[in-house]
Structure 1
């Protein structure tokens, strides 16, 4: 049975604008973005960065940076870090904006070290006499500087970039928008590589495989297409036997690594029925992408809106449309192990797992898994999966031996 609980202590932060996108910057820092759009409503547009911690009872979030983007709402974003640089790309109306992200240690508003939060110190700044004490009390801060911008959607009326993703495999960026075209870009130069014209309606989601040259695209035309993004060629189209002659649309897609297998990945998809809400179930599906077959499927009683896969491939999380609920599933079996109803007052717009780390002091070390959720209700929430109790092997052997011995004695006593 999955854990089920009300969301009582999962609220991390509440901002003053609707939230549409969430990304982890480091093991401890989360970035959320959104806004009210270009209309003069007084609702801001931009990013917020929070540092996460745990006080032994609950998760906490401290605001590190607020960056406003003027009249442009942030609808989607992706981050990338290597040994030298950190980047952020964000969909702002019809364009994709590239930002350089600089990380510094700060104590009393004085820079101590310019660092890479993923790989350690890069450059030592001017030392103070109390350098050791300063480092102990210092905080990691971020400076976000706009760089290049490219137009990624060319619909004649209200062009909007709907999604952006960056491949860690070979530094390729993919964008999709309301014109139904998937565009591939060299990253971070933003030089256009390929234009994939396969969808007749707006793109809903994209994702890169973490270990193969696969790109998946889904759109409101009902198609799910697997591409080889190294050459821009279509591999196949994913179709399935929809129940009772009904019509379903793919909503979200995410690749995940397969534990214990190199150069292999699974593909997870959310599908929602068209019409007759409440009468037909939605599905979380696990695909073998190259074969175009479904391995497993889990039915859900309401429409789905958000999907995330943990970076080690062990867990999958989904968010719902109407009840604002969040659930965590075991990726291998699609068994639901955590359900939190009514997390948000409106539909879940984004999910992001805290990354796996060998550091015992990371904030996710107190739970088997932890996932962040956001919504247009302006709230950032976090949900931890408690460590599931298991029976040690030695104890299981003792129980089996004791059971067999008891059965033998009982049979001897009654003469069987």
Structure 2
């Protein structure tokens, strides 16, 4: 049975390029905009409160932070701090959630911030949220650093380390830059790729960084030293070296194996053909960086990748607007909606598996948010897979054996 069309969780007044979910709060953060072009399209970061209403996940717009003429293209989240990639720079923002103030102090946000409390209900209509439950979001701009120096400068990737002590950036000039946080002191800068950096993944111990570039390379670095270059197709001799490029890379945990680590990469065709070849998804050992499994994941070109907290599921978005969820262990597709969005899916984020996140799932095994240039944030729900307890399976097997013996005894007296 095909999955139902995903619910529209929120619609922004501008194209959406990135989404992140707070790990400890029922809060989603989306961002995008029209850039510096004088088209009348705003640029901003929107804060959404997530909650279960009538058995369905709904979103309330808590706050709009205006980013003036800069559209946020990439975003990383570390606690209550946002690293927003805007044009050639990384803008560091800190936000806080506060209880609503009285009528006398309402409306005193800064000129770049606009409070709003509109809820997208289960049916897609806007509803007024309960005044006693809405929170106020305050956003503080900490600093901005330039992170790309190419003629067509654009920061394309940003990532916090697991402990929030390091920030990695990469973009159109091919340089990988590491920054201490919160001082934003640059600790490392070197050319990682001959061309744009598409994605960055920081290892959990802060010792290794993986970068994916448009030069057909995916590299593992320790400081500025190349540890290894990944070769996903070494066991697929029919694929030429420069037929595919790396689009995304992400580290993920291994469900049920504490301390184990996996790296996942997406490979897309370098050239578009009349009969498009498949894209590929590869799972790597996170320590030896040897390929463990590679599977095709459809002929639609993959645009983004996300991994659930436990490492159980992978989310994929495509340039044609489709969204899929794969099982990380086998890389098999579990969920797929063709053209969930009308245009390229720009980012994905799983609902965290913390206690607040589990309360939002409402009995589902996983939930994935997708955003696209069509200004929509959509919700993809993965129903819980029904499974029998081990003891019940053993009991059924024992009963089956006993029933077989009794039938044989009745059919062939003296069988035993």
TM-score (norm 2): 0.86
Whether the aligned pair in 1 keeps the contact of 2:25 and 2:356 (CA below 8 Å) is: no
Give per-residue Cα distances to partners, 1:210-230, cap 9 Å, x unaligned. 3452211011001101112xx
2:406 pairs with 1:409? yes
Change (3 A) 1:277 1:256: farther
Whether the aligned pair in 2 keeps the contact of 1:20 and 1:75 (CA below 8 Å) is: yes
Match of 2:217 in 1: 223
Give per-residue Cα distances to partners, 1:377-414, cap 9 Å, x unaligned. 11001111111111123332232122212222332333
Measure how far apart 1:200 and its partner are: 0.5
**Does 380-389 or 352-361 show the bigger shift?**
352-361
Using the alignment, how far apart are the partners of 2:44 and 2:356 within structure 1?
Answer: 31
Using the alignment, how far apart are the partners of 2:206 and 2:175 within structure 1?
Answer: 22
Match of 1:187 in 2: 181
Unaligned 5+ runs, structure 2:
106-130
Using the alignment, how far apart are the partners of 2:362 and 2:206 within structure 1?
Answer: 30
Using the alignment, how far apart are the partners of 1:360 and 1:255 within structure 2?
Answer: 21
Alignment of 1:205-224 (within 5 A): 205-211=199-205, 213-224=207-218
Match of 1:256 in 2: 252
Whether the aligned pair in 2 keeps the contact of 1:236 and 1:290 (CA below 8 Å) is: no
2:100 pairs with 1:106? yes
Unaligned 5+ runs, structure 1:
112-135
Whether the aligned pair in 1 keeps the contact of 2:52 and 2:362 (CA below 8 Å) is: no
Whether the aligned pair in 2 keeps the contact of 1:353 and 1:372 (CA below 8 Å) is: yes
Measure how far apart 1:168 and its partner are: 2.2
Using the alignment, how far apart are the partners of 1:100 and 1:398 within structure 2?
Answer: 55
**Does 355-364 or 62-71 show the bigger shift?**
355-364
Using the alignment, how far apart are the partners of 1:345 and 1:194 within structure 2?
Answer: 40
SS at match of 1:400: helix
2:343 pairs with 1:349? no
Of 303, 311, 315, the residue aligned with 2:301 is 303
Aligned residues: 383
TM-score (norm 1): 0.86
Using the alignment, how far apart are the partners of 1:318 and 1:202 within structure 2?
Answer: 21
Change (3 A) 1:207 1:361: closer
Using the alignment, how far apart are the partners of 1:360 and 1:166 within structure 2?
Answer: 21
Measure how far apart 1:63 and its partner are: 0.2
Match of 1:202 in 2: 196
Match of 2:75 in 1: 77
Measure how far apart 1:47 and its partner are: 0.8
Alpha carbon RMSD of aligned pairs, Å? 2.3
2:14 pairs with 1:14? no
Of 139, 143, 150, the residue aligned with 2:145 is 150
Whether the aligned pair in 2 keeps the contact of 1:249 and 1:274 (CA below 8 Å) is: yes
Using the alignment, how far apart are the partners of 1:58 and 1:212 within structure 2?
Answer: 39
Using the alignment, how far apart are the partners of 2:212 and 2:43 within structure 1?
Answer: 27
Measure how far apart 1:362 and its partner are: 2.4
Using the alignment, how far apart are the partners of 1:392 and 1:202 within structure 2?
Answer: 49
SS at match of 2:194: coil
2:355 pairs with 1:358? yes
Measure how far apart 1:102 and its partner are: 2.1
Using the alignment, how far apart are the partners of 2:27 and 2:133 within structure 1?
Answer: 15
